[in-house]
């Protein structure tokens, strides 16, 4: 038995999170794509069946009150809050990440002084964030400036209204320094807007601790909410009275059933709501979040780093030198919960890996991307993935 196999057995035996694997529907496939779509929590199908058959099928319209449909956006927001370091009452769930990025950016610009005419955006961002930022700048008459996170401190000025940054780079897995960048943005008098899609549920975020102004994130990656599950919007408590949503729907009205022709926003984070909540996917998400009961985000982070360390070690052991190159930072403070390997024939390699039961994904033009969800990925999974990768590359 090889040294990596023996070490995997030892690490799995000592893993305090190992029992959580039983809370998911899994098979013999090594699933390392939870940074795109999380695995199915085992309690979700029964919950969705109850929502469809009883809440919708029997109670029908009564479920808005009797089944708590009406309060789901803020109730589920409070379930997400501790996973991103936020106190209750600051997160509302609903709409897509893209829509929430738009709300957050335009609201941030509206809260800034009129003479702040520049918007900064992460030049390495997921494309949609860039598209939305360009539209928000055009809509509000601001100039958009794309800079890398490392360039943000020197790019900030008294012209900056807001900066939109990604906590973790979706291609490389690089973790950006949210505390120091937020502090630098605030020192310039601007507002910080963070995209948490690749960090929430994988590592501590500390929204309240670090004074983040606004944040958004999806729920179908490390939060395992299911395909297309609704995203969330965080509005720091002291900013909520000033949060002026560019999408003032009836659901965020102070008196939604008053049907007033004029808009009066609801108090608190509720003003981040827009239209009728997508109840089926929202309540599937609520069920999925139950897997986090009694789970420490710190423990998740510790296992995440151990998994990625072990994967890099196994890749080095099983592949020829120079065949692949890690583009994910080695220092723990700069690494999210994924490993990205540069490989000349990455697209074909990933197809062959998937055919052999190791599922990651490919990012154009030459990146093999592997996501490590500590709630259900084992060290044996990691060893097998690296071993199969070595065989495929050979």
Sort strands 24-25 and 40-41 into parallel, antiparallel or unpaired.
antiparallel
Set 31, 170, 220, 310: catalytic member: 220
Helix orientation angle between 379-393 and 3-13, rounded to the nearest 10 degrees: 160
Nearest to 137 by CA among 154, 166, 157, 160: 160
Question: What is the C-alpha separation between 18 and 21, in angstroms, rounded?
Answer: 6
Is 220 annotated as catalytic?
yes
Question: What is the C-alpha separation between 373 and 221, in angstroms, rounded?
Answer: 9
Set 95, 122, 195, 361: catalytic member: 195
Is 195 annotated as catalytic?
yes
Question: What is the C-alpha separation between 107 and 302, in angstroms, rounded?
Answer: 35
Question: What is the C-alpha separation between 80 and 92, in angstroms, rounded?
Answer: 9
Is 102 annotated as catalytic?
no
Q: Positive or negative, the Cα torsion across 252, 256, 259, 263? A: negative
Q: Is residue 322 exposed (0-12), middle (13-18) or buried (19+ Cβ within 10 Å)? A: exposed
Asked if residues 164 and 122 have their Cβ atoms less than 8 Å apart, the reply is yes
Asked if residues 73 and 80 have their Cβ atoms less than 8 Å apart, the reply is no
Set 303, 369, 384, 387: catalytic member: 369
Which residues are marked as active site? 126, 195, 220-221, 369
């Amino acid at each position: 038995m090889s040294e990596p196999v023996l070490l995997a057995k030892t690490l799995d035996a000592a893993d305090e999170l190992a029992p959580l694997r039983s809370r998911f529907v899994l098979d013999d496939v090594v699933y390392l794509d939870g940074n795109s779509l999380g695995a199915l929590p085992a309690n979700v199908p029964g919950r969705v069946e109850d929502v469809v058959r009883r809440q919708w099928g029997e109670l029908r319209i009564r479920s808005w009150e009797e089944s708590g449909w009406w309060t789901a956006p803020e109730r589920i927001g409070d379930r997400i809050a501790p996973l991103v370091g936020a106190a209750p009452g600051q997160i509302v769930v609903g709409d897509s990440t893209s829509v929430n990025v738009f709300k957050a950016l335009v609201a941030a610009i509206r809260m800034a002084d009129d003479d702040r005419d520049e918007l900064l955006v992460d030049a390495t961002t997921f494309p949609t964030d860039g598209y939305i930022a360009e539209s928000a700048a055009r809509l509000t008459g601001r100039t958009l400036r794309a800079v890398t996170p490392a360039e943000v401190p020197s790019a900030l000025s008294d012209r900056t209204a807001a900066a939109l940054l990604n906590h973790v780079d979706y291609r490389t897995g690089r973790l950006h320094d949210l505390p120091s960048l937020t502090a630098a943005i605030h020192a310039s008098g601007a507002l910080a807007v963070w995209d948490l899609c690749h960090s929430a549920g994988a590592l501590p975020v500390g929204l309240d601790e670090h004074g983040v102004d606004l944040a958004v994130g999806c729920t179908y990656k490390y939060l395992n909410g299911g395909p297309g599950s609704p995203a969330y919007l965080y509005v720091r408590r002291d900013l909520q009275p000033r949060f002026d949503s560019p999408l003032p729907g009836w659901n965020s009205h102070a008196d939604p059933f008053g049907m007033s022709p004029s808009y009066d926003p609801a108090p608190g984070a509720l003003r981040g709501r827009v239209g009728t909540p997508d109840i089926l996917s929202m309540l599937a998400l609520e069920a999925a979040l139950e897997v986090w009961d009694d789970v420490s985000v710190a423990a998740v982070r510790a296992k995440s780093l151990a998994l990625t360390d072990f994967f890099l070690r196994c890749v080095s052991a099983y592949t020829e030198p120079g065949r692949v190159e890690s583009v994910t930072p080695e220092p723990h403070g700069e690494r999210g919960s994924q490993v990205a390997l540069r490989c000349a024939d990455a697209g074909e390699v990933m197809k062959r890996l998937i055919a052999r039961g190791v599922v990651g994904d490919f990012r154009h033009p030459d990146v093999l991307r592997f996501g490590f969800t500590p709630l259900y990925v084992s060290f044996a999974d990691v060893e097998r993935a690296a071993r199969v990768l070595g065989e495929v590359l050979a």
